[in-house]
Amino acid sequence: MNLVLLGPPGAGKGTQAKLLEDSRSLVKLSTGDMLRAAVAAGTELGRKAGDIMERGQLVPDDLVIGLIAERMDKDEGGSGEGYILDGFPRTIAQAEALDRLLKERGKKLDRVIVMEVDDDALVERIAGRFACAFCGEGYHDIYKLPKVKGVCDRCGSSGFVRRRDDNEEVVRARLQAYHAQTEPLIDYYTRQGKVRAVDGMADIATVSKEISQALAGA
Ligand code: AMP
């Protein structure tokens, strides 16, 4: 099964993608994670993408499509039963490229989960988030602190990081990019009968249960 998690920044796509990866034999492909890794490694791609990301705008289609293609090629033979795409596609051109990449590999997209959240809640959500620097487990200043202060619940390490683009000004730009460039994908995939909407405002466990229900029969 191959699925796309679609929703605005802060909707919980990364959290749910990780849960799905842990509970099913699926491989998570997150262009945001790949781009941040490229920025941290100082590669040419990272240098091209870094400034754009800090402004909250979208990185050019050809760059992110190239990243996804490369990852799918490395995963030749498939280490799992399919892909969870988190943060990709974000434009119609990317969606068309995804259809093509899957088709070339004898696969298809089965479901698109749209995580519905309202904009005002997103700014608060995003401004409080941080993650374990080692395993990437996500936390939040209000909603999800580590059980033991300063120690990651998942891997026990004690370093945490905050994303540079998780501040109010950049979040507003990211939301604008979402509404203008990514939201049209909901229509694109609705026409293909692949969309299932879930209430992204519910707590993590409830959203996860709703997603499982939405995937049944896919
Ligand atoms: P994310 O972690 O998915 O919120 O992505 C963080 C930032 O990376 C976005 O604000 C964009 O600048 C860039 N980015 C991630 N995925 C894409 C994509 N599919 N297309 C264009 N830009 C992307």
Residues noted as catalytic? 13, 90, 129, 163, 174
**Which amino acid, one-letter code, is at 62?**
D
Cα distance between residue 118 and residue 194, in whole Å: 22
Tell me the per-residue pLDDT of 113-166, one tens digit each, with 9 for 90 and over: 999 998 888 888 888 899 999 999 999 998 899 999 999 999 999 999 998 888
**C-alpha separations of 80 from 12, 76, 77, 131, 217 in Å:** 22, 10, 9, 25, 18
* DSSP states of 13-69: HHHHHHHHHHHSS-EEEEHHHHHHHHHHHT-HHHHHHHHHHHTTPPPPHHHHHHHHH
Q: How confident is the model at residue 167, as a pLDDT?
A: 87
Q: How far is the CA of 53 from the centre of ligand 1 (A)?
A: 7
Cα distance between residue 29 and residue 88, in whole Å: 8
- Give yes or no for residue 214 having a pLDDT over 60: yes
Average pLDDT over residues 203-207: 94
Nearest CA owner, ligand 1 atom 11: 58
* Ligand 1 site, CB within 6 A: 9, 31-32, 35, 52-53, 56-59, 64, 87-88, 90, 94, 165, 174
| Prediction pTM value | 0.88
- Give yes or no for residue 80 having a pLDDT over 80: no
Tell me the per-residue pLDDT of 11-23, one tens digit each, with 9 for 90 and over: 999 999 999 988 9
- Give yes or no for residue 78 having a pLDDT over 90: no
